[in-house]
Amino acid sequence: MKLLLLLTTSFPYDNGEEFLLNEVSYINGYDRVLICPCNLKPDSKLTKQLPDFISCVPLRTVPEGKSAYAGLLLKPFVRSELYSMLKSGSFTSQRAHEMLFFMKRAYEIYAALTQIPELGSADEVTIYSYWLFDAAAAGVLLADDLKKRGKKVKQVSRAHRFDLYDEFAKYNYLPMREFLLSRVDRVLPCSASGAEYLQSRYPRYAKKITPAFLGTADHGERHGSRINGLHIVSCSFMVPVKRLHLIVQALEKADFPVLWTHIGSGPLKEEIEGMAMKLPNCVRTEWKGQMDNAEIMNYYRTNDISAFVNVSASEGIPVSIMEISSFGVPVIATDVGGTREAVYSGENGYLLPADFSPDELMGRLRELTGLSEEKYGRLCLNARRIWAEKFNAQKNYRNFYKEICQ
């Protein structure tokens, strides 16, 4: 039996990892497919419906006590990580604790994975971790165990943002990179810039690191529109890294009609909405709150949208940009992470500097308003074309599963 284990954080439970919905229907080449959410809460709820050929095995991990830390210090790969930090001068007590907690968690997930009955009857196992983090480390431990039992095992892992860039991690440190990269067969960042980042830091593993773009479904061709004035949309969790306050500050300078729709909620909801109450009369706001993916796609399909705005301080390649681009809507976004792989300034939208000013954003909005219909129409057509070439889910995910299944 050929078995695929897909290790997620919580999918198909709770909120988050919504973009996996676009992917799992394209899984092919396996006799059994099991999705294993590895970090569920006691009150987690099933929120997504899986295709009939996929089974979900929610892992119920058992937390180990503090005594587990002593046992970890006996592991050669843990001692190697500590030695490497000491040798490079990067050792701190906080990083050491972060690493030990990371590996303790990996062993807890590994222990739960070993209880999956299907592993006993499988001849070939592909372990696919959606994140290059603790579940990937658990996958390494499981792969070693299965190989000792004579099974053919392949391990692959995607990498996105928090699990990729050291500078955005707690203490500027991502634990056990050498351990993971030396043992995982293929590491597949979601952007070319992410792949280059890993390759430059770990050149000895460069050949096993290649980008694998995510993709979004085709919900039908539409076209950006300014028929009712400028309608801009943003879609994100309302947290500091998304910098929604900068959209408000840009719109404070508006002297032409603008409708700003924001989709999403979060801790900064009251603060951002409070700031927006002081915007000039020519600016209207629409707060849609949390919407599921189907509701968002329906909104895009049934409303005239002029541009999508993403001013995040950090990204992989935003799936939100892929989704809106499929509808032929131009994008204004910050040049961070892999965003420039989806937004080509002057072709399907505009890139802003990572440290842009509100004046720069307003300048691009004003420019978009003043474009001729021909030039604006070209931005819209290019948005759809670039999506079709690079981020079409059907093409990307069929190729992805064909590759990892071999």
Would you state the structure tokens that stand for residue 143, as one six-digit string?
A: 């792969």
> Has residue 224 been placed in a domain?
no
Residues 71 and 142 in one domain: yes
Q: What global pTM score does this model have? A: 0.89
Residues 187 and 251 in one domain: no
Before 58, cis peptide (omega within 30)?
A: no
What are the start-end ranges of the E strands in 88-136? 124-129
How many angstroms separate the CA atoms of 257 and 280, rounded?
Answer: 10
Residues 375 and 401 in one domain: no
> Has residue 223 been placed in a domain?
no
The pLDDT tens digits of the residues spanning 208-240 come to: 999 999 999 999 888 999 998 999 999 999 999
Which residue in 55, 33, 60, 44 sits closest to 10, CA to CA? Answer: 44
The pLDDT tens digits of the residues spanning 137-183 come to: 999 999 999 999 999 999 999 999 899 999 889 999 999 999 999 99
Residues 92 and 192 in one domain: yes
> Has residue 145 been placed in a domain?
yes
- Backbone torsions φ then ψ of 239, nearest 5 degrees: -130, 165
Domains contained in the chain, number: 2
Residues 234 and 350 in one domain: yes
Residues 248 and 130 in one domain: no
Contact (Cβ atoms closer than 8 angstroms) between residue 177 and residue 84:
no
Residues 263 and 245 in one domain: yes
Q: pLDDT > 90: what percent of the chain?
A: 91
Which residue in 260, 261, 224 sits closest to 373, CA to CA? Answer: 224
CATH number at residue 59: 3.40.50.2000
> Has residue 102 been placed in a domain?
yes
Q: What is the dihedral of CA 143, 148, 152, 157, to 10 degrees?
A: 10
- Angle (CA) 128-133-134 rounded to 5° is 90
DSSP 131: S
Which residue in 336, 304, 133 sits closest to 232, CA to CA? Answer: 304
Average pLDDT value for the chain: 95
> Has residue 178 been placed in a domain?
yes
How many angstroms separate the CA atoms of 406 and 402, rounded?
Answer: 7
The pLDDT tens digits of the residues spanning 259-314 come to: 999 999 999 999 999 999 999 999 999 999 999 888 999 999 999 999 999 999 98
> Has residue 221 been placed in a domain?
no
Q: Which domain holds residue 133?
A: 2-215+394-405
> Has residue 180 been placed in a domain?
yes
The pLDDT of residue 106 is above 90 = yes
Residues 185 and 261 in one domain: no
Residues 209 and 244 in one domain: no
Residues 236 and 351 in one domain: yes
Residues 198 and 303 in one domain: no
> Has residue 381 been placed in a domain?
yes
User: With DSSP H G I counted as helix, E B as strand and the rest as coil, what are the percentages for the chain, rounded to 5?
Assistant: 45, 20, 40
Residues 263 and 374 in one domain: yes
Banded pLDDT at 21 (limits 50, 70, 90): confident
Banded pLDDT at 382 (limits 50, 70, 90): very high
Banded pLDDT at 34 (limits 50, 70, 90): very high
